[in-house]
Structure 1
Amino acid sequence: MVSNNQLFHLFLFLCFFQITCLHAQLCTQEQSSALLQFKQQFSFNKSASYLHCDSVGILSYPKMESWKEGSDCCSWDGVECDNNTSQVIGLDLSCSWLNGTIHPNSTIFYYFPHLQSLNLAFNHFGMSPITSEFSRFTRLTHLNLSASVFSGKVPIEVSFLKKLISLDLSGNYDLRLEEPGFELLVQNLTKVRELNLGDVNISSVVSNSLLNLTSLTLLDLSSCGLLGKFPDGVFHLPHLIELHISYNLALTGYFPEFINSSSPLQHLRLISTNFSGELPDSIGNLKSLKTLYAPFCKFYGSIPTSLGNLTELTRLAISYNNFTGMLPSSLSNLGNLVKLGVQYNNFEGKIADFLPNAKSLSYLYVGSNNFSGPFPSLVANLTSLVELDLSNSQLTGPLPSWVFSLPALCYFNLSNNKLTGHVKEFKSTDLIAIDLSNNSLYGRFPSSTFKLVNLTSLILSSNNFSGELDMLCHAVSLRLLVLSSNSFNGSIPQCLGNFSTYFSVLDLRKNNFSGTIPNTFVKGNSFEIINLNGNGFEGTVPKSLVNCKMLRVVDLGCNKFSDKFPFWLEKLRWLQVLILSSNKFHGPMPASKAKFPFLNLRVMDLSDNYFTGPLPKTYFKNFNAMMNVIEANFKLQYIEKSLVGSMYLYAYHYHDCLTMVIKGSTIEMAKVLTIFTVIDLSKNNFEGQIPQIIGKLNSIRGLNLSHNSLTGHIPTSLANLTMLEWLDLSSNKLTGEIPRQLNNLKSLAVFNLSQNQLIGPIPQGNQFDTFLNDSYIGNLALFGPPLSDTCSDPRPPQQEDDTNSSSGFNWYVILPGYGCGLVWGLVMGYLMFSRGKPQWLVRIIEGERNESRKRFKKHAHRNRGR
């Protein structure tokens, strides 16, 4: 039995406990008011947080909405109080939709002297600086300002927070930590365990003071612009679990030796650094290692067998290096692997010899090596595969049907092999990207594939697939469709133009498609590249193409289009390539009325059509992308489309391919540089003179106006085209002399003026010494090397007159030439008939032949040397 006295004491204890708890839960009025004033500095916008938070799996919501006047601030969302003192000791406002700036006079800096933890990550603070007032929180042990759009210089005062255990400033791409800030930070924060400065611009040599941070468990200095050699000792810090120094392109170092197996290191990322050398055999001592990412480095040599000892390893990526030899069979011991990436090295052997039998393996990238043999059968057991890349692996034989039954596939790349057979229906409904290009697959491609609601990329080029595209309308998420070089047929479905949201690349070149192109392109569509070259399309160019505001490439060459020039395309300001060659386009090209027609056009190929009238002078005048291009100011890029994948960019990366006549030969370019600039108007019925204005296009590489009916002189302004590599004006009716100013075209490799009515001497020196007779044949009044007729010009020297007569022949040049030949012929004929076959004449003639051969060989050798 419990006595009354005991009950009384129990009652008193409960009352005291309740009063204590109530007292502990009530924050002070001044702290409550300070927090409410802090709240008023911000608006709440979901876009300020949700992208970052979703990517790391954190729920985002406006925590401050629960903060109401009159209620206990210790009960507010994100606020933590000390149970004994009621002082606010923690603020977690991460992922809280905060949109605004934090001012130095903010109340938060003056009423919270006991604050120990402050988390403002994943908000949007409007590029405001990190104020030095943060140093007032002298008791802070945890400070997280990551990915919250801070900018400017990190104040040195942050290094005064000597009690910090965790500091995270990562993900603020406009933050910089200038000297001596980084050195002070490392010297003062001796208790820090987690130091995350990823994406903060440090741009200095790595401080050796890092070796004094013996409590570090996490160090992230990725994308910091670090320079010089990374200290080996950092790898050996006694408690270091995670080390991330990726994306520091100027950072050098070697993979260190690990003499004993006591290292706690679990996660190591060296992506895109200048680390080099071989992997040491002692890597097998890192028994705790779970993640090793070292792609895009400069490692070389063979992979040590000891790597197979790392049985805890879940992620191994050593792609894009210079590793050689065979991957050790010991890798089959890595039964916990989730990701394996070894592509783009020089490994050899058979994939089956090293492939781990890991039931959890979800990401397998082994393409672009020197592997060979049949499709590895072990893949059939990897039922968790989400992404599979066996591209460029020299795989041969039939493609096994079971590969289409892998249930979880999202990314599937078998491109550039020698696989044969049919493609079956895919079991996975989650497929996002399929790349089977450059194999020997054949038959009808399963139409059910187009019904996959997540499919964004389908690349089947260079096979022998057949069938129609009647199911294309179901591919509602498709962004990239490349079916080139197959046997597909039929017409394009009417729904094509209705893809308004995603569809950006349509490549159907070199197939058997026919019919007309639907005139259904809606406003707001995303098409960037449309390549229909080499089919049987006919009719007119749909005017609704003008709705494709993002178009960069339109290639309709080698079809049966019959239309006038589609001048409305001049409104597409991003258009870089326009190819209408080998069709039945006709009529004159109208003078443009647009203010800036074809503003970014770099390639115009209208060759082999029936265009008439004068050359398009107004277009030449406004081709701004072909004028005054300073290549040193441009990063060399290809005309391409990239769609973001998960680990790398493979099937999501598309280079536009063009087929053009370049330097006299038909060439297919698998990649097209954005600085590639060409005009080809050959094989039409253009007439009139070549306008002087064409000389403004001083950045073009190739100009082909051959096989037209152009008249007049070669404009001297062509000498301004200093980047020109080939110039073809052959098979026209051009008159006058070859301008000596063209001698300035020092990049010119191919030059063709044949079959015109040109007169006078051929300029000598520079590139003209490399051109052979073929460049000038068919111009009866031209003379001088390399032509075999070397009779000199009888006229006295005179300045070139660009306004000479337009007549095709100048008789004062031709008649003396005939005279010279006539006298020589009569004399030689008389001697031969009167004396038989004089040996002295034979020696002269044979000597001339030998000299001619020597000159020809000399010019041919120079031309090849160019």
Structure 2
Amino acid sequence: MGAWMLLALLTLVGDWCGRCYGCLEEEGIGLLEIKALIDPNSIYMGDQSYDLPIKHLHWVEYSSNCCEWSGIECDNTTGRVIRLSLQHARDQRLGDWVLNASLFLPFKELQSLDLGYNGLVGCSENEGRFNASVLLSCFDVSLPGFEVLPSKLEVLDLSENRFNDDKGILSCFNGFSSLKSLDLSYNEVTGSASVRLFPSNMLNFEKHHAGLKVLSSRLNNLENLYLIGNQCNDSIFSSITGFSSLKSLDLSYNEVTRSGLKVLSSRLKKLENLDLSSNQCNDSIFSSLTGFSSLKSLDLSDNQLTGSGLKVLSSRLKKLENLYLRDNQFNDSIFSSLTGFSSLKSLDLSDNQLTGSSTGINSKLHSLKKIEDFIST
């Protein structure tokens, strides 16, 4: 009896150690399959003439344990891959990449996936060259896209790729309830799709119900959305009203002004962080922001603001803790408009037209801690 118990214990310990000190075989094989797809011809093995992440190509040479490979993090208990970063891991000379999302099926515990800067334009069920049939599969909700990824996936980074609304790339998502953070920064997303590439008898959707609008109805638990540096104008606001669970929205470095923002504020009641820096906003934006009653952080840096109307905003955003107004056209009269921000802790007014005469602003905003660090003339 004692011998059998000892054998059973050794078996359990061996299995536990194997999971702790080495990734699962199916996941290791899966990673190598992805590696083969990223560089099918080994064209940049040892090629130093391009700024490419060579480290991804030497996984096996580095270690036989895939948990030790670059860009991979495994759970300490199960040994399963929980984070996979393939950012800039594909040779851009290969052209557009239509992703076969089923490649990630082995990674059943995956929580975070970074596919940034890889030339992605869409997804399909099967591997193959980018053609009309593959493109149409992105619109057909009966075919799997990114939704075949593990049910525990919470973070997906698709930034710096070639997604745009014309190809309906966002329609590759069909039900993805676990996702909490999505980064589509530096693509070609505008917010409203165009169907000029397709005759009306080919696709059964309307122009204003494609792209982000469809996506917002499918990612019901999304909390963080990053759309930095796209081509978004004010039409983006009506396209994202369905993201009712959003807590953070970053639309910096776009072309928005404010039209439609008031409607958005009435829908995104949980929004805590809003970044509209480096856009084309003027003072009319202040009245459009009053409905964001849960905001804790607001960035309006690098716009065309002078301060008119800011006092009304300060009386409505009672929870605001961080306000960034850098690189606008404010003068010292701005200080009297700030006193209503009763919860403000951090204020950035650098690169404006200030003399530094805050006339007791610190005494009126008792929670403010950092204004001295940010004022510049």
Same fold (TM over 0.5): yes
User: Contact (CA 8 Å) 2:306, 2:329: kept in 1 or not?
Assistant: yes
Query: Residue 184 and residue 294 in structure 1: after superposition, are their counterparts in 2 closer, same or farther (change >3 A)?
Result: farther
| Paired AA for residue 71 in structure 1 | S
1:156 to 2:162 alignment? no
Report what 2:132 is aligned to: none
| C-alpha deviation, 1:144, in angstroms | 0.7
What is the match of residue 94 of structure 1?
A: 87
Q: Tell me the distance in 2 between the aligned counterparts of 1:170 and 1:138.
A: 21
Q: How far did 1:184 drift?
A: 1.8
Q: In the alignment, is residue 278 of structure 1 matched against residue 291 of structure 2? A: no
Indicate how the Cα distance of structure 1 residues 207 and 316 shifts in structure 2: closer, same or farther if over 3 A, else same: same
Among candidates 14, 21, 46, match of residue 18 of structure 1: 14
Per the alignment, residue 141 of structure 1 pairs with 154
1:725 is aligned to none
Which whole-Å CA distance do the structure 1 matches of 2:158 and 2:148 have between them? 14
Once the two structures are overlaid, the 10-residue window that deviates more, 275-284 or 29-38, is: 275-284
Match of 1:76 among 60, 69, 74: 69
CA distance in 1, matches of 2:291, 2:190: 37
Q: How many residues align?
A: 320
Q: Does the 8 Å CA contact 1:193/1:217 hold for their aligned counterparts?
A: yes
Q: Does 1:292 align with 2:324?
A: yes
Residue 254 of structure 1 aligns with which residue?
286
- Give the aligned partner of residue 197 of structure 1: 227
Instruction: Look up the match of 1:316.
Output: 349
Cα drift, residue 231 of structure 1: 1.9
Alignment of 1:273-672 (within 5 A): 277-280=308-311, 283=314, 286-293=318-325, 295-296=327-328, 303-304=336-337, 306=339, 309-317=342-350, 319=352, 327-331=358-362, 336-337=369-370, 358=372, 361=373, 363-366=374-377
Alignment equivalent of 2:185, drawn from 149, 170, 178: 170
Equivalent AA in structure 2 for residue 26 of structure 1? L
CA RMSD of aligned residues (A): 4.6
State the 1:294 CA deviation: 5.9
Q: Is the 8 A contact 2:185 2:229 kept in 1?
A: yes
2:211 alignment partner, one of 151, 175, 181 = 181
- The gaps in structure 2 that reach 5 residues or longer are 125-144, 194-209
Deviations 1:611-655 (A, max 9, x none): xxxxxxxxxxxxxxxxxxxxxxxxxxxxxxxxxxxxxxxxxxxxx
- Contact (CA 8 Å) 1:203, 1:224: kept in 2 or not? yes
Q: 1:266 — aligned with what?
A: 297
| Secondary structure of 1:192's aligned partner | coil
SS at match of 1:170: coil
Q: Deviations over 1:761-820 (max 9, x none)?
A: xxxxxxxxxxxxxxxxxxxxxxxxxxxxxxxxxxxxxxxxxxxxxxxxxxxxxxxxxxxx
Structure 1 counterpart SS, 2:214: helix
Alignment partners' CA distance in 1, 2:36 and 2:286: 52
Distance change in 2, residues 1:209/1:105 (3 Å) = closer
Shift in CA distance, 254/281, structure 1 to aligned 2, threshold 3 Å = closer
Cα distance in 2 for partners of 1:241, 1:218 equals 6
**Counterpart amino acid of 1:76?**
W
Counterpart Cα distance in 1 of 2:94 and 2:281: 34
User: CA–CA distance in 1 between the matches of 2:98 and 2:184?
Assistant: 21
2:256 is the alignment partner of 1:244? no
Change (3 A) 1:157 1:204: same
- Does the residue aligned with 2:310 lie in a helix, a strand or coil? coil
Q: 8 Å contact 2:101–2:149 — kept in the other structure?
A: no
Say whether the 8 Å CA contact 1:278–1:299 is kept in structure 2: no
8 Å Cα contact 2:84/2:112 also seen in 1: yes
- Indicate the structure (1 or 2) with the bigger Cα radius of gyration: 1
- The SS at the match of 2:104 is coil
1:136–1:365 CA distance, 2 compared to 1 (3 A)? same
AA partner of residue 376 (structure 2)? Y
Aligned-partner Cα distance in 2 for 1:299–1:192: 39
Specify the SS of the correspondent of 1:280: helix
**Counterparts in 2 of 1:788-799, with a 5 A limit?**
none
The separation in 1 between residues aligned to 2:248 and 2:319, in whole angstroms, is 18
Secondary structure at 1:203's aligned position in 2?
coil
Instruction: Report the Cα distance in structure 2 between the residues aligned to 1:298 and 1:315, rounded to whole angstroms.
Output: 12
Residue number in structure 1 paired with 2:39: 40
CA distance in 2, matches of 1:177, 1:46: 37
1:27–1:73 CA contact under 8 A, matched in 2: no
Aligned residue for 1:62, secondary structure, equals helix
Task: Return the alpha-carbon distance in structure 2 between the equivalents of residues 30 and 212 of structure 1.
Answer: 39
Q: Quick one: which amino acid aligns to residue 66 of structure 2?
A: C
* Aligned equivalents of 2:272, 2:232: Cα separation in 1: 23
Match of 1:213 in 2: 243
- Pairing 1:119–2:132 present: no
Measured after TM superposition, the shift of residue 265 of structure 1 is: 1.1
Instruction: Tell me the distance in 1 between the aligned counterparts of 2:262 and 2:332.
Output: 21
Letter in 1 for 2:181: S
CA contact (8 A) 1:118 1:142 kept: yes
Contact 1:282 1:306 survives alignment (8 Å):
no
Give the residue type in structure 1 aligned to 2:183: D
Corresponding position of 1:223: 253
Q: Report the alpha carbon displacement of residue 96 of structure 1 after superposing the two structures with TM.
A: 5.7
CA distance 1:264–1:276, change in 2 (3 Å):
closer
Q: How many angstroms does 1:118 deviate by?
A: 1.6
Question: Using a 3 Å threshold, how does the CA distance of structure 1 residues 237 and 72 change in structure 2: closer, same or farther?
Answer: same
Which amino acid letter does the alignment assign opposite residue 73 of structure 1?
Answer: C
Higher RCO, Cα 8 Å, sep 6+? 2
The match for 1:713 is none
Q: CA 1:221 to 1:104, structure 2 compared with 1: closer, same or farther past 3 Å?
A: same
- 2:285 aligns to what SS in structure 1? strand
| Distance change >3 Å, CA 211–CA 274, structure 1 → 2 | farther
- Please say if residues 67 and 77 of structure 1, whose CA atoms lie closer than 8 Å, have aligned partners that are also in contact: no
1:31: how far off?
A: 1.4
Distance in 2 (alpha carbons) for counterparts of 1:157 and 1:35: 23
Verify the 8 A CA contact 2:247 2:270 in the aligned structure 1: yes
1:469-521 deviations in Å (ceiling 9; x for gaps)? xxxxxxxxxxxxxxxxxxxxxxxxxxxxxxxxxxxxxxxxxxxxxxxxxxxxx
**Partner secondary structure for residue 132 of structure 1:** strand
The one-letter code matched in structure 2 to 1:111 is L
From the superposition, tell whether residues 185 and 305 of structure 1 become closer, same or farther in structure 2 (CA, over 3 Å). Answer: closer
Percent identity reads 18
Using a 3 Å threshold, how does the CA distance of structure 1 residues 312 and 14 change in structure 2: closer, same or farther?
farther
TM-score using structure 2 length: 0.65
* Contact 1:204/1:226, CA 8 A, preserved across alignment: yes
2:122 counterpart of 1:131? yes
1:305 Cα deviation after fit: 5.5
SS in 2 for 1:143: strand
Q: Where in structure 1 are there 5+ consecutive unaligned residues?
A: 50-59, 341-357, 367-866
- Which whole-Å CA distance do the structure 1 matches of 2:327 and 2:297 have between them? 17
Whole-angstrom distance in 1 between the partners of 2:274 and 2:74 = 34
Once residues 120 and 102 of structure 1 are traced to their aligned partners in structure 2, the CA distance between those partners, rounded to angstroms, is 15
How many angstroms does 1:246 deviate by? 2.6
Change (3 A) 1:171 1:278: same
Give the match for residue 25 of structure 2. 27
Higher strand share: 1
| Residues in 2 aligned to 1:206 and 1:94: alpha-carbon distance in whole angstroms | 26
- Could you tell me whether the CA contact under 8 Å between 1:294 and 1:318 is conserved in 2? yes
